[in-house]
Amino acid sequence: MTPVIAFGEALVDMLSSRLGESTGDAPETFTPYAGGAPANVAVACARLGVPSRFLGMLGEDHFGDFLAAELAAQGVDTSGVLRTREARTALAFVSRDAAGERTFDFYRPPAADLLYRLEHLPAGVFADPAIVHFCTNSLTEPEIADTTLAMAEMARRAGCLVSVDANLRHNLWESGTADIALVTRLLDAADLLKLSAEELDYLRADHPRDAWLAQRLAAGVKVAVITDGPGEVRLHTARLDDRVTPPPVNAVDTTAGGDAFIGGLLAELAGRFGESGIDADWHQDSVFLARAVDTACRCGAHAVARPGAYVALPTRDDLSRL
């Protein structure tokens, strides 16, 4: 299989014991779960049997130890994970409503993952064919944004397939809202783009949806996938505009739903490509793409029915039982 390399933040999700407005008699407590969108994707791929590697930086602290151990335990190659004493590992306190939808209170910046630079890249990391995955939370400060954009360009020039999940978290940005121009620069570096309908509406501003998507395809994006919670998933290419319906599920915690989805999609691509590299017509195979998105939907459905991130991500056996 073609390996998947994910870059960005690994952090600890502190998941609240409360669901919705219910409080009961017990005090609110928070349970730590290993998380962080690109780290979740690396784990999602590993749990589906795909060679997976995570690149990033953790603090030399208890939570950094916890994340490094959890990544390794899930089968992720952590040889590209660095440790630092200059900043702590990031935390996210997660609250959920009655439907499992979550809100985040981030303890970042400062955080160790924001200190990763090009000189920290392992030698020859993009020398062999790979799928390289990014999220936009590594754009929130100038230095890490420069690193992220440069890495995406390096990977694409090396012949890797570049995947980007918008995964907007507005409260991570100093202004309180994501920088549309900067985010769009990373989106346009992608071969495969995943975003939610809500994110699309924010990023397109006053542009019509189809016109905005056409701009992304003109910039070089080959496949755009738009999710909408439990609603239909839109699969969009230069020749295709299809819809895939996810399976119904009782959502408990949506924390890793999108990461499970993109992880499932990348795992299908990794299986298609094998070890020989990225075939030129993958984005024109409508039957394969529809099947891959269906698998991605089932991965997402499995994840949202369980609390936490890594622990909620499915294996192949889980999917067969879904």
CATH assignment at residue 94: 3.40.1190.20
| Cα(6)–Cα(251) distance, integer angstroms | 26
DSSP character at residue 283? G
Which is nearest to 312 in space by CA: 322, 299, 321?
A: 299
What is the average pLDDT score of the chain? 94
User: 3-class SS at 120?
Assistant: helix
- 98 pLDDT band, cuts 50/70/90, is low
Mean pLDDT of 305-317: 91
Cβ atoms 225, 233 nearer than 8 A: yes
- 24 pLDDT band, cuts 50/70/90, is low
How many structural domains is the chain composed of?
A: 1
- 234-260 residue pLDDT tens: 999 999 999 999 999 998 888 889 999
What pLDDT score does 255 carry?
82
| Cα(190)–Cα(163) distance, integer angstroms | 5
- 110-140 residue pLDDT tens: 999 999 999 999 999 999 999 999 999 999 9
Containing structural domain, residue 60: 4-321
pTM, entire model: 0.94
